[in-house]
């Protein structure tokens, strides 16, 4: 998914991924959701998944 504005393409993919993950957790298709991320963009998703009773594991890092 390449566009002239790479940020827009990334955000579109992030939103799609979050919606898909939320739906699969809502339908009880996942026991645990594992997120690998280097920023806080997925924090609202983690909160929503926890509210549904879903288990979430986050593998993150912060490069300086």
Q: What is the pLDDT of residues 3-62, one digit of tens each?
A: 565 555 666 788 899 999 999 999 999 889 999 988 788 899 999 999 999 999 999 887
24, burial (CB in 10 Å: exposed 0-12, middle 13-18, buried 19+):
middle
Q: What is the pLDDT of residue 5?
A: 57
64 pairs with which residues across the strands? none
Q: What is the pLDDT of residue 27?
A: 95
Sequence ranges of the domains in the chain: 6-60
- What pTM was estimated for this model as a whole? 0.74
Q: What is the pLDDT of residue 32?
A: 95
For helices 43-51 and 6-26, angle between their N-to-C axes, nearest 10 degrees: 10
Q: What is the pLDDT of residue 38?
A: 81
């Amino acid at each position: 998914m390449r566009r002239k504005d790479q940020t827009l393409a990334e955000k579109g993919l992030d939103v799609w991924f979050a919606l898909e993950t939320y739906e699969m957790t809502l339908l009880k298709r996942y026991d645990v959701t594992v997120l690998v991320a280097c920023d806080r963009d997925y924090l609202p998703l983690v909160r929503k998944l926890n509210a549904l009773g879903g288990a979430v594991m986050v593998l993150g890092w912060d490069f300086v």
